Structure 1
Amino acid sequence: MDPSEQDPLLLLRHSIASATPSAIVPTSSSDPSAPEVNLAQATHLRFTYPNPVSIPIDTQTRFISNGSPVDLRSIYFAWLNREVAIPEYNDAATKLNEELAGSATVHKFAFVERLDLITWLEGASEESEHIQPLSSERDAASAIGAAPGAATAAGGAIGAAAAASAVPVTSAGLKGLAVPASASARAGRGTLDPRLAQIYNGERRMADRNTVLRGIKPTDFSHVRKLAAPFMSKKPTSGTNGIVNNPVLALNQKPQRRPDPIILLSPSASSLLRLSNAKAFLEGGRYVPPDSSASSLSILHIQRTMRDIDPSRPMRFILVEGPEQFKPEYWNRVVAVFTTGQAWQFKNYQWSNPSDLFRHVLGIYIGWRGDQPPESIRAYGHRVMTCFVEKWREPGAPGAETGRWRDREVVENIWKAIENNMRIKGWKRDTAPLSI
């Protein structure tokens, strides 16, 4: 069998060119009937085009990276992830390496290497500086370059072999001679005289789109993104009047998206409302106790239509239990603070004094119906809204559902107070207040 028919890179390239869905199948056996398996479990790669053949997936290929050949699994994995960015590709390779558990390692290609490999595999380029030629191609090339008569001798040998086997010699069969793809077409019937092959090899190649636009070695401009990041993050603060007065900005400026309002919950273990049960209460209108096993939650998103602010679309609220990740401008988006009255909750707040805090932000306390709120909550006066829910009883216990219908009433009162406070602070359909 021709060594080129067993070459993993050529088999992979021909199978991709065939555009057949099942042309490349990872399997756990060399058996032609073996089913497809996950790439981490595969031991072979079965090619069905041009002829059915199974190649061990850890076979070393002719693609050289950092002076070492790259295995077939890494080549096929890079082709599967050809459309993702480098960070996502590296993350996927790390995940696959974890699944392989040390039995093998997927090679992570550099940006230029991966682009060169994918360009060659999809047929957009006929050459690659990272792919070594086949041994038969090197022998033919060295025979042609050895002496003036050597090329003719080598060409005659190739032509004689083709005539004896009744198989036409095409440009694919003389790939080591670097014959242009159009050479066989110009020969008329698919056969090519070796002397013509040598002449065609001296022609100037027509460049493809990759070499014309990017050159022989594509340039990586990813570093420009880091340089542009500080400029992209700075938004104009001159207001709408500056945009209207400047015709260039008026045409090109995109409308800024309204930021999401923020609600701060109490991180206290005694708080009746935590991240684990806030969605069921504030969105679903039913109180359930906090789930201690969900303590890993750090952020929560809920939606609510504020009819007096934007009746056409619901607003998304961000719920967090602490301001550790806050930027200074985030405090202008805080619309409510749920508290248990413990002063340590406000230690890292912009206004650590509760009296100052609740002059800027609506305070909300939730307790059990029938219990008295803490003395600190009563000391805050009208600046903190007190709400009470029915005491929780385990489902199935007598009276478990008694009074649970009042949960929705409590929730509606809370949202009504939040909406009224937002409207007073300057929240509108498309804008948020610049200060509170």
Structure 2
Amino acid sequence: MASVDQDPLLLLRQSIASGSPIFPTASAEPSAPEVRLAQATHLTFTTPTRISIPIDTATRFVSENTPVDLRSIYFAWLNREVAIPEYNTFASQLNDELGTRGPVRGFAFYQRLDLITWLEGASEESDYIKPLAGDKDGSTSTAAAALASKGAAAPAIGTTLGRSGKGTLDPRLAVIYNSERKMGDRNSVLRGIKSTDFTHVRKLAALFMAKKPSQPSSSNISSNPALATHQKPKRPDPIILLSPSASSLLRMSNIKSFLESGQYVPPDSLAASSSTSASMLHINRLMKDIDPNRPMRFILVEGPEQFKPEYWSRVVAVFTTGQSWQFKNYKWSNPMDLWRHVPGIFVGWRGEQPPESVRGWGHRVMNVGVDRWKDTGATGMDSSRWRDREAVEGIWKAIEGNMRSKGWKRDRAPALI
């Protein structure tokens, strides 16, 4: 297993955080030029030092009890915004070019989401990434990941790349390293050379633990501001489901500009986002009544086909066109059962009656109207679309109110909805 300073996953995450170049090469020389991924034998990183790692190196990301190679991890990052069908097409094309050197591994939806979230630095833990060798509790990998997410460049003493940049250690540096005092790790400091059995301490501690009050006291960590700063509660990302219907006014191509910028554009217009084929989008929104200090990141998807059962407790809204086939694969396929757990949102043209099905669902589905789109041609955006922001704010207000009533907190999501 690679050391901390040469671990492919940590190097990739640190390079992404610092915006440093990452490119495939056909040689182990760090100065080798960039080549196509199908021709590459190494992946070159430039942060914290310029280093090349074989592209078929097995990483600590494990899928189906098998470590995933670096080429597959890098390919997944390059195509992170691509829809699953298009991603599979690109992977097949690359496998044809690789021949016997392949294939590129595929990922399930939740594995891909977990990997991208960890590489972006939005999460410090992953269910599929094993700790480094000798790091049983994950503290070393967590510390290294924290350095990577902040763009810090720790001294890479274990690397073979010296100041000369030719892949060999500078002799003067070797003399300095040999004169350094060797520092022990936590195991050697606590236990010395021989392993010591501390199980008897548990028996002594049991007497004090039995007297611990059941209710948290004022000296608890959570009530101590000096100690509470060391706690890093994980907050899951809420999920918004969109309608996959072609008649929907809001699709993956224009939902981001609508909910973030407060301006509606047709999903098939040139003004819409270029992420038409994206299977998942992220938007940020400050929910003041839940957490006034940091924005919440919302995940937008069109369908729950790759959902884990626990994902349903994170669904905070469902956009619908009134067509019941949209809910076929939902946890609650009956619309009335669905609206008892999750608020619905219908977006139609202002002044027009919503479909009969939407009217039949009553107040459980919010009816929002937007002005019809006027093609202004070369003149730019329609200046009369100022009421779009009013509609968007109404949608966010309804979502935030429902989240608070369901039990969303600053650091956690409700267990059930």
Structure 2 length-normalised TM: 0.49
Q: Which has the higher contact order (CA 8 A, sep 6+)?
A: 2
Q: Which has the larger radius of gyration?
A: 1
Structure 1 length-normalised TM: 0.47
